[in-house]
Amino acid sequence: MQRRIPLIIVLLTGIFGAVAFFVPYPAIRNADEIMRNDVQRIITAFSLVLGVGSIVQHHLLKIRRKAQFWPYSYITIVALVITAIIGVFGGIDVTRPGVLPTRVGNFSFHIQTIYSNMMVPLAATMFSLLAFFMSSAAYRAFRARNLEATLLLLAAFILMLGAVPLGRFIHHRLPAFAEWILAVPNTASKRGILFGVELGIFATSLKIILGIERGWLGGGGK
C-alpha cells in the first residue's frame, strides 16, 4: 500500500498531464490550471521548508559531532539566518524599507545590498573559474594523438580563430566557415545524440507513468 498509492498518483497525474497538453476542452483546461497554478505552487513552497530543514540539520549535526571543518558550519548557519531575517523583515531596498531598520547613516544592508555586493560578485567569481579550467583542460586534452583527436583539434582551432579578429585577417571567410562548422556538422551530430536522448526520455517517462520503473521510489525497483 505504501508503494501503491504513490504509483496510482503518478499514473493519474501523468496521464492527465499528457491529455491536458493536447485536449483544449474547458473542463480539462481549468483542472490543468488548478494543478499548475495552485497544486504545484504549494508543493514548491513546502519543498523549500524541506531544503532549509536539511541544510540546518546537516550543519547542526556537524557542529554537534565536531566533525572535520565544523567551524565552517557556523558561517553557513549564521549567514542563512541573517539573510533570511533581512530578506523577510528588512525590505527590498532604500526606497522600499521593511519593519526592520537596515540603515546605519549612509550604509544600508537591505536584501538588494546583499544581493548586489555579495551574491553577484561571489557567483560571478565561480563562473569565471570556467575560463581557467577550460584553458588548462584544452592544454592537456587537445593533443593530436590520432586522426580523431587531430580532427577535433583542427575544428576547435578554426572555431577559436573564427571568434577573434585575427581569423578575418588570415582569410575573410574564416569566421563564416567557423559558423558553418557550428551550424552544420556540429548540429548534425547533436541531432543524432538528441534522437537517442529524447527516445530515452520518452521510454523512461512511460516506464515511470506505468509504474514499471520504480527505482525513484527507493529500493532499486523491487
Partner 1 sequence: MGRATLYVPGLSSMADVATIASLNILGEVAKKTAQFGTPLIVPTSDPIVYTVAREVVKESYTAAGRPDAFHQDIVFFVTDQQFAFAAAVDGIMTREKPATNFLIGMFWAESLILAETGAATGAIQIAGTDAIAQLPFFITACDYTLIGEELYAASAYISREPVLLGAIKAQDYAKALITIIIVAFSLIALGLNLPVLKWL
Partner 2 sequence: MEKENILIRLQRIDRRWIYLVLWLVVMIPLIFPFKIQPQPTPSVEKLFNYIDTMPENKALAISVDFTPDTRAELQPMVVALLRHAFATQHRVGILTVQVYGLGLAEEAIRQVTAEFNANANTRADSVIYGEDYVFWGWTTPVLTVMLGMGERITNVFPIDYYGNRTETLPIMQHIKNYDDIGILVTIAASAIPRSWINYAQTQFGVNLSCGITAVSAADFYPYVNSGQFIGMLAGMKGAAEYEQLVRERMVKNGMEWVLRNRGTEAMSSQTAAHLAIMAFIVIGNIAFFATRRKRK
Q: Using CB under 8 A as the criterion, which residues of the chain lie in contact with partner 1 when the complex forms? A: 43, 47-51, 54-55, 57-58, 61-62, 68-69, 122-123, 126-127, 129-130, 133-134, 136-137, 140-141, 184, 190, 193-197, 199-201, 203-208, 212-213, 215-222
* Least Å from the CB of residue 82 to partner 2: 18
User: Residue 179 touches which of partner 2, partner 1, none (CB < 5 to 8 A by kind)?
Assistant: partner 2
Q: Identify what 71 binds: partner 1, partner 2, none; CB under 5 to 8 Å per kind.
A: none
Asked if 142 touches partner 2 (CB under 8 A), the answer is: yes
**Cell digits for 175?**
569566421
Q: Could you give the CA distance from residue 61 to residue 70 in angstroms, rounded to a whole number? A: 9
List CB contacts of 19: < 8 A, sequence separation 6 or more.
28
Q: How far apart are CA 148 and CA 170, in angstroms?
A: 25
Among 3, 64, 143, 171, binds partner 2 (CB under 8 A): 143
Burial of 165 (0-12, 13-18, 19+ CB in 10 A): exposed
Q: Binding string, 153-172, against partner 2, x = CB under 8 A?
A: x--xx--xx-xxxx-x----
- Which of positions 111-140 make contact with partner 2 (CB under 8 A)? 112, 115-116, 119-120, 123-124, 126-128, 130-132, 134-136, 138-140
Closest CA to 17 of 155, 175, 205, 207: 205
3-state secondary structure of 205: helix
* Residue 175 in the binding site for partner 2 (CB under 8 A): yes
CA atoms of 87 and 124, how far apart (whole Å):
21
